[in-house]
Structure formats: structure tokens, C-alpha cells
Amino acid sequence: MLTPEEQREIEQEAASYPERRAASIDALRIVQRRRGWVSDEALADVAELLGMSPAELESVATFYNLIFRKPVGRHVILICDSVSCWIMGYTKVRDHLKARLGINFGETTSDGRFTLLPIVCLGACDRAPVMMVDEDTHLDLTPARIDAILERYE
Ligand code: FES
């Protein structure tokens, strides 16, 4: 069941579009911001509210890779694996993150603190390598900078 607050926020978004279904991504992000991820049940509730089938909304959620359909850690790290980041040291940064966290892509640390995922270009190629932690973009990464950045996220 969506909470009254979730319903109210989603209704506000839907009202700003000519068609309710155009608010799909916004609605999924509202649920994810409050719950950390979007369960099958929550997805079905959002679909009903927007007048769509769950399958239609699922295809939107699958296409948009920042909607999490499985539980994630308290913080999600998205590391860019596109070309500029590759050239500027992506592999070193990736290997450091994996070793430091003790996880692979798609996994969550045992304390539930971080989930690590790859992502395509984050649009900051001139400051590569780049990663996002939650809503924050971190630029010019080095292993030492990563250690300092991770400390900020409890
Ligand atoms: S290639 Fe990594 S930010 Fe563009």
C-alpha cells in the first residue's frame, strides 16, 4: 500500500502532465526516495494510481536504470564505466572500490551500508573518473580520494 504522503506526492506530479502515465519515473522515484527501492507490490500500486498495467510500468522501471527493483544498501555507489572514465583510470578505481568494500557489482556490504553498481556515462567526462554516491557526484577519483569520500556516508 502506498502511504498517503506517497499518494499525495505522486498525484501532484501526475497533475503536472497532460497524461498521468507521463509521471511514471517521477512516481517511482518518489517511492524509492522513501523506501530505498521499489518492490513488486509498490510498483503495482503506483501502476494502479497512474492507470497503467504493472507490466507497462515495469518496462519503464527496467529501462530507467536508477530505479532499484531489489533491496539496496543505505547508500548506492554508481561508478561510470564509459570510455572517458576507462581512459582516465576506471579499472584502478573500480578495483579499489571492490577491494575496499569487499563486494562485487550488484552486491551490498554485509553491514548494509553500500551497494555497488556500474552505470553508463554520468556526463562529467572532463573530470573522469567519476562516480555517484546517492545523489552526489564525485569527480577526479583516485583510490585515496575514494577512501575519504566513503567516510562521509554512514
Ligand atoms: S565517461 Fe564517465 S562521466 Fe562520461
pTM of the prediction? 0.82
- For the cut 80, the answer to whether the pLDDT of residue 16 exceeds it is yes
Q: Which atom of ligand 1 is nearest to the CA of 84?
A: 1
83 and 147 fall within a common domain = yes
Q: How far apart are CA 21 and CA 61, in angstroms?
A: 13
> For residue 68, is it within any domain?
no
Q: How far apart are CA 142 and CA 97, in angstroms?
A: 10
82 and 120 fall within a common domain = yes
- Please name the amino acid found at residue 43: L
Q: Kindly give the distance from the C-alpha atom of residue 2 to the centroid of ligand 1, in angstroms, as a whole number.
A: 36
3-state SS assignment for residue 16? coil
- For the cut 80, the answer to whether the pLDDT of residue 65 exceeds it is no
Q: Which atom of ligand 1 is nearest to the CA of 90?
A: 2
Q: Of 18, 34, 63, which residue is a domain's last? A: 63
> For residue 134, is it within any domain?
yes
Ligand 1 proximity of 80 Cβ (cutoff 6 Å): yes
Ligand 1 proximity of 141 Cβ (cutoff 6 Å): no
Q: Kindly give the distance from the C-alpha atom of residue 7 to the centroid of ligand 1, in angstroms, as a whole number.
A: 35
- For the cut 90, the answer to whether the pLDDT of residue 47 exceeds it is yes
Domain containing residue 59: 4-63
Number of domain units in the chain: 2
38 and 98 fall within a common domain = no
> For residue 124, is it within any domain?
yes
- For the cut 90, the answer to whether the pLDDT of residue 63 exceeds it is no
Q: Kindly give the distance from the C-alpha atom of residue 141 to the centroid of ligand 1, in angstroms, as a whole number.
A: 12
147 and 79 fall within a common domain = yes
Residue 76 sits at φ, ψ, to 5 deg, of -110, 125
Q: 32: pLDDT confidence band, cut at 50, 70 and 90?
A: very high
Query: What's the pLDDT score for residue 150?
Result: 96
Q: How far apart are CA 150 and CA 140, in angstroms?
A: 15
